[in-house]
Structure 1
Amino acid sequence: MIQRVQTLFLLGVAILMMVTVFVNSWEKTNPDTGERATLDAFYLTHLEPVANETDFKKSAELPAFYIAILCIISAGLAGFSITRFNNRLLQMKLGAGNSLLIAGTVVAIMLLSREGEQLFAPTIVGEYKTGFYLPIVAIFLNILANRFINRDERLVRSMDRLR
């Protein structure tokens, strides 16, 4: 039911997790040599400049496809949870599971960014990009959705007692 606020929160979770698949999560650049490392939902890529410093060659590419899988499953679970509006207990369980998936996404990004820090120049620190912060916002929206689902369930139970 679209008029419920938790539906909007769950829709926000689904959208944010799908956007996470397409944006960079972490990046590190060495200004002296021009080396770069980037992390997206599919690969941790280390790029080294070629002689003219405008072209880059991939020196290492570690697969990170499980981040994309976690994001897609989480978005799908949020969408599925929207359709289960008449079974609030199932919706709360799906929301709890979705929180775990999103937290797993954040942890995977953090672990791979630590691995990326070791690729070159350990003194230079990389920075987290949009793809890292979107799942954190998604966790917050998911918690809000679960809170409103729980409130609806308590309201329905209190009405059942009055009958």
Structure 2
Amino acid sequence: MLQRIQSVYLFICILISGVLPFFIKIWTSSNKTAVFATDHKLYIGLFLISAVLAATSIFGYKKRQNQFVINRLNMILNFIIIGLFVYHSQTLSGEAKVSEKGIGMLLPIFSIVFLALANKAIKKDEDLVKSVDRIR
């Protein structure tokens, strides 16, 4: 389980989605206060669901197809988080001129990259198993 590279990628995804939103600011508001994901219940809930999906995918290593599907669902969830970040940053009045966007808005993008790398490694494992079965 842990000796596979996709498990490492998924563990990094758990760290990105489950730990970093508590410490990295998403943006700075117009009155110079840092806004974290923990300030919004929706964001922290979606980040924690993403971390749980990645953990489920790690422990579902015996069923590679299910693991692949869970990672795809997690990617869709991270795209939804990105969409909510963009929507929220564009709808606040006066936000375009006075607020600063933080590195926290990029967390779902980093998570998507590591999920895609994990899916690539899962596909490679699946192809290896299929080729060995073909030889028999």
Normalising by structure 1, report the TM-score.
0.76
For residues 116 and 132 of structure 2, the distance between their equivalents in structure 1, rounded to whole angstroms, comes to 25
Residue 36 (1) aligns with residue 21 (2): no
**Kindly tell me: are residues 123 and 114 of structure 1, through their superposed partners in 2, closer, same or farther at Cα, counting changes over 3 Å?**
closer
Any idea what the Cα deviations from partners look like across 1:134-160, whole Å, max 9, x if unmatched?
Answer: 221111000000010011001101111
Residue 26 (1) aligns with residue 22 (2): no
Which protein has the bigger helix share?
Answer: 2
Question: Which runs of 5 or more structure 2 residues have no equivalent in the other structure?
Answer: none
Aligned equivalent of 2:7: 7
Question: Which runs of 5 or more structure 1 residues have no equivalent in the other structure?
Answer: 30-34, 44-63
User: Aligned residues: percent identity?
Assistant: 30
- State the structure with more CA Rg: 1
Alignment check: 8 A CA contact 2:28 2:34 kept: yes
Residue 57 of structure 2 aligns with an amino acid whose one-letter code is S
Aligned equivalent of 1:46: none
**Alignment map for 1:26-105 (pairs within 5 Å):** 26-29=27-30, 35-36=31-32, 38-43=34-39, 64-105=40-81
**Kindly tell me: are residues 94 and 75 of structure 1, through their superposed partners in 2, closer, same or farther at Cα, counting changes over 3 Å?**
same
Residue 81 of structure 2 aligns with an amino acid whose one-letter code is T
For residues 55 and 120 of structure 2, the distance between their equivalents in structure 1, rounded to whole angstroms, comes to 17
Task: Give 3-state SS (helix, strand or coil) of 1:86's partner.
Answer: coil
Larger deviation, residues 123-132 vs 90-99? 123-132
Alignment check: 8 A CA contact 2:14 2:55 kept: yes
Alignment check: 8 A CA contact 2:29 2:35 kept: no
Normalising by structure 2, report the TM-score.
0.90
Larger RCO, structure (CA 8 Å, separation 6 or more): 2
Over aligned residues, Cα RMSD in angstroms? Answer: 1.7
For residues 97 and 112 of structure 2, the distance between their equivalents in structure 1, rounded to whole angstroms, comes to 30
For residues 114 and 151 of structure 1, the distance between their equivalents in structure 2, rounded to whole angstroms, comes to 40
Residue 18 of structure 1 aligns with an amino acid whose one-letter code is G
Aligned equivalent of 1:53: none
Which protein has the bigger strand share?
Answer: 1
Alignment check: 8 A CA contact 1:20 1:41 kept: no
Alignment check: 8 A CA contact 1:81 1:91 kept: yes
